[in-house]
Structure 1
């Protein structure tokens, strides 16, 4: 006679849970150990189970109890043991993941409530994820299958060898001619000019499309199926995403890593092809598009896709290598579990089936990814503030940043509220540790509120140089520099000499002709003195001698012009750098950069080529066109930082000398607009004296100036913005 369930202990009572039979299960291997990937056919959710978890889940297909589960586990995986508390936690996890259902009454209402909560959580997540918004997608299976039949040869050994050859060709080009190619690169201002915006958009969209297709085709090649391809707004920029979660069903982790890294491989191949095309094409639309593709692929791969701290390709490759599905969620779960054990004295260990070394690695990853996420958020906010500054839409960015911060702290605050509202958990709180946490949070909040901030006024500017003298090549020839750029010279000092063999040979021939003409004249004069008639020969010879001497004087003057001397005292500055064009490498006298550089010694320079600029000694200043809104806060003596377009990696210190108000004509206003100076008819100009400016700056060089107008705190800035936004009295 069987005992009544009421008379049994809790561990011996039959469990009211049964394993769902509709989940699709595939056996895989992680670290040489068997594991199982289960997929919900309804929601397409994927869950990874270890061999131990799968064994316990399978036991739930028949009626059983906690004690029976414990004995079966210890018999199957001896000498390992498991406690009934750990089994209870595991069953709770299975129920939360919808892997089991209960045979008790009232489960329909419970499932409806759980689904409603899941939907609310998704809506809250979409609302708070203002910098990452999915706009929807489409089922890409049929399109990917059709495309795979076309590109299938690319996955053969021949395709792999061809890809490696392409990468090797691009790498060898960069190693052997990287300096020449760098000299041909356009400046940052030219790359970001409005005329290039459509080229950048085409490059980004094209690269992202091929990137996502790389994932989908690699997954299809290894037997998986791409579920969806759609559009994602990332920091306001449209991009694509590919749902390749079916890769977890692949039995080999190296194949899963190949699927995750397929997008990176595609971008590397695109970058290699773009570098080769850019180097071999003349300037034009295709030339600019190739450069844009190379830059997008390089920066996007290194900074975003291959970075494992962001949830992109590098993250999934790391998860495949560690063989930990849902790496981010599980690593954060370990942090949450450690905090709960520390505050609530909860027994047990999170993820007990993970090796201790792997648990420690996941904790380190959780901390690093959280810190890097905050850094990326700050970087995105800074970039958006810079982008919307001309439109005075900074408050929209502040609002989006506030929502993003709320999204970061929402989950921890919600968990804290749930603990506080539960009397059982509230009684288990360790009061001293809770007080220490609250004190640390208060100290952190106070430190953030009083974090020193510097307010700056930003303005476009130009370098002002007094009486700068440009120097040009007057006679073509092969250059031999006599001074270095940046050197101090005096009036009359030799800057460079030129060798022109044709001109020198012509002068030598002309000297011979002059000598011959003089001999002819002397002969005629001798004959005339002897009484012999010369007729008109002597006047003709004299005329020919005069003409030959005039030509010789002209050629000697040209020879003297082969020596370039300074016309004033000052510093030798470089003219605008010469960039190479396609085909220059095959021309005689090929040279790049500045003519006075030692590496260009012997290069052929045509007449009229800019050689140098001689700037008289003295202080160097810039004139910054202030926005009228910034004028009241700018005063003499304030420090400033100047970034020149010619030296984008060097920040030059300066100091404001004063601010003047100028009323300019329409013609001057049009010229000012050409260099991006605001307010065409009334300008407020700040004169800034530079401290230790670099030697490479040219007169009238464009720059961006940031003037330190006020030191404040983050709290004061937030309060001021809130008071202006909502018209608050404080």
Structure 2
């Protein structure tokens, strides 16, 4: 009987369930991992490079004897039958093989210790977020073509270059703006609207690349309230470019909304009373948009850097690495980290520290300049 079971396992040609998503390689601390996502429940889990090598070849045409030679050529060791059987058992238990039953639903999450209150909370505001963003995508799709977006990106970059050259005027305009409460309230409303469009831009961009928007809702921390948009298969979007564009879409749209005001401001004579107010709007809007591109969590720039580097959980893994590296054992404690991982985490640790220092220094300098004007 054991021999018969072993023979059956060797000739079995498993196939992944239709719709199972395999993620690209991600650097996570000392390891390289891949994410695998269930097509129905949406649950995702990590596997190593060796497991991914085998899983990616489960197409219903290969058995152990077919996969084993390629595995040995890639990793320099034989794929043991026990390992093959354990992996198939894990995939079957998670409902990832064709014909396998769905796994039992996860246990319900514990009740929140605190319900939504006036001071803080979240509320879903769209019944079917994916259908809503899909409709928006169908309407906006002609505008998403690179032939239009690349010139708009160039216009945004040119706008920011001109604004940098007029930093003094923008600071004076911001001071003047704060002296006029009614206009300031209108600018604040525009910036709030810009944040709302920012979140929807993430969802529309994800739809453009085949993503699924799970939720659109309102999050508030009294007195501020803002829209949020959740893409549940964001890490499985096809290719690095899709992830970068989706993460950067919000800031891009924020800057696009400033273009008409920048044109208006540039056409006004220097003594026009509207010019300083527009300068203040352009300064605050640019700060709002560009600050989102800073590569620190939880900002969009942090996600973009992680995708560009192919690294997962960059900030916490960097803290773990530096704690080991600077601890008593030093290099010995980080011997398991490959060279690329050591370079990435060291560089990010130094860069993040410099960014925080620059942000604090810059904020204090701008505040001081505004007070002195």
Does the alignment reach a TM-score above 0.5? Answer: yes
Structure with the bigger percentage of helix: 2
Structure 1 unaligned regions, length at least 5: 4-18, 61-70, 103-110, 384-642, 649-730
Q: Secondary structure at the match of 1:77?
A: helix
* Alignment match, 2:304: 317
Aligned equivalents of 1:58 and 1:158: distance in 2?
35
- Measured at CA, do residues 203 and 221 of structure 1 come closer, stay the same or move farther in structure 2, by a change above 3 Å? same
Q: Secondary structure at the match of 1:213?
A: helix
Q: Superposition pairs for residues 208-607 of structure 1, below 5 Å?
A: 208-233=195-220, 236-280=223-267, 283=273, 288=277, 290-291=278-279, 293-303=281-291, 305-331=292-318, 349=336, 355-362=338-345, 365=348
1:205/1:239 contact within 8 Å kept:
yes
* Alignment match, 2:74: 77
Aligned equivalents of 2:93 and 2:312: distance in 1?
20
Q: Secondary structure at the match of 2:219?
A: strand
1:23/1:40 contact within 8 Å kept:
no
Q: Secondary structure at the match of 2:205?
A: helix
Structure 1 position 147 matched with structure 2 position 136? yes
Q: Secondary structure at the match of 2:372?
A: coil
Aligned equivalents of 2:220 and 2:15: distance in 1?
37
2:120/2:221 contact within 8 Å kept:
yes
Aligned equivalents of 1:369 and 1:42: distance in 2?
38
Structure 1 position 25 matched with structure 2 position 20? yes
- Measured at CA, do residues 328 and 132 of structure 1 come closer, stay the same or move farther in structure 2, by a change above 3 Å? farther
Aligned equivalents of 2:134 and 2:198: distance in 1?
17
1:25/1:36 contact within 8 Å kept:
no
Q: Secondary structure at the match of 1:238?
A: strand
- Measured at CA, do residues 341 and 228 of structure 1 come closer, stay the same or move farther in structure 2, by a change above 3 Å? farther
* Alignment match, 2:101: none
2:321/2:334 contact within 8 Å kept:
no
Deviations 1:394-436 (A, max 9, x none): xxxxxxxxxxxxxxxxxxxxxxxxxxxxxxxxxxxxxxxxxxx
Structure 2 unaligned regions, length at least 5: 4-13, 27-31, 59-67, 96-103
Match of 2:186 among 187, 195, 199: 199
Q: Superposition pairs for residues 45-56 of structure 1, below 5 Å?
A: 45-47=43-45, 49=47, 51-55=49-53
Q: How many residues in Structure 1 have an aligned counterpart in Structure 2? A: 325
Aligned equivalents of 2:41 and 2:35: distance in 1?
15
Match of 1:167 among 121, 146, 156: 156
Q: How far apart are 1:254 and its partner, in Å?
A: 1.6
2:36/2:47 contact within 8 Å kept:
yes
Aligned equivalents of 1:346 and 1:167: distance in 2?
46
2:174/2:276 contact within 8 Å kept:
no
- Measured at CA, do residues 338 and 199 of structure 1 come closer, stay the same or move farther in structure 2, by a change above 3 Å? same
Q: How far apart are 1:317 and its partner, in Å?
A: 0.7
1:211/1:267 contact within 8 Å kept:
yes
Q: How far apart are 1:263 and its partner, in Å?
A: 1.4
Structure 1 position 39 matched with structure 2 position 28? no
Q: Secondary structure at the match of 2:76?
A: coil
Q: How far apart are 1:299 and its partner, in Å?
A: 0.8
**TM-score when normalising by structure 1:** 0.36
Q: Secondary structure at the match of 1:223?
A: coil
Aligned equivalents of 1:59 and 1:333: distance in 2?
34
Aligned equivalents of 2:157 and 2:326: distance in 1?
50
Deviations 1:331-387 (A, max 9, x none): 456568889997xx999947xxxx4322442365468769978999x99xx99xxxx
Aligned equivalents of 1:329 and 1:132: distance in 2?
26
Q: How far apart are 1:160 and its partner, in Å?
A: 2.4
Deviations 1:670-691 (A, max 9, x none): xxxxxxxxxxxxxxxxxxxxxx
* Alignment match, 2:372: 647
- Measured at CA, do residues 271 and 331 of structure 1 come closer, stay the same or move farther in structure 2, by a change above 3 Å? same
Aligned equivalents of 1:24 and 1:645: distance in 2?
55
- Measured at CA, do residues 347 and 190 of structure 1 come closer, stay the same or move farther in structure 2, by a change above 3 Å? closer
Q: Secondary structure at the match of 2:229?
A: strand
Q: How far apart are 1:301 and its partner, in Å?
A: 2.7
Q: Which has the higher contact order (CA 8 A, sep 6+)?
A: 2
Aligned equivalents of 2:15 and 2:183: distance in 1?
56
**TM-score when normalising by structure 2:** 0.63
1:232/1:239 contact within 8 Å kept:
yes
Aligned equivalents of 1:364 and 1:169: distance in 2?
30
Structure with the bigger percentage of strand: 1
- Measured at CA, do residues 273 and 346 of structure 1 come closer, stay the same or move farther in structure 2, by a change above 3 Å? same
> Rg: which structure is higher?
1
Q: Give the CA RMSD over aligned residues.
A: 5.4
Q: How far apart are 1:202 and its partner, in Å?
A: 0.9
Aligned equivalents of 2:43 and 2:344: distance in 1?
26
Q: Secondary structure at the match of 2:21?
A: strand
Aligned equivalents of 1:375 and 1:164: distance in 2?
26
Deviations 1:2-53 (A, max 9, x none): 59xxxxxxxxxxxxxxx9977953345459xx98542245653444545423
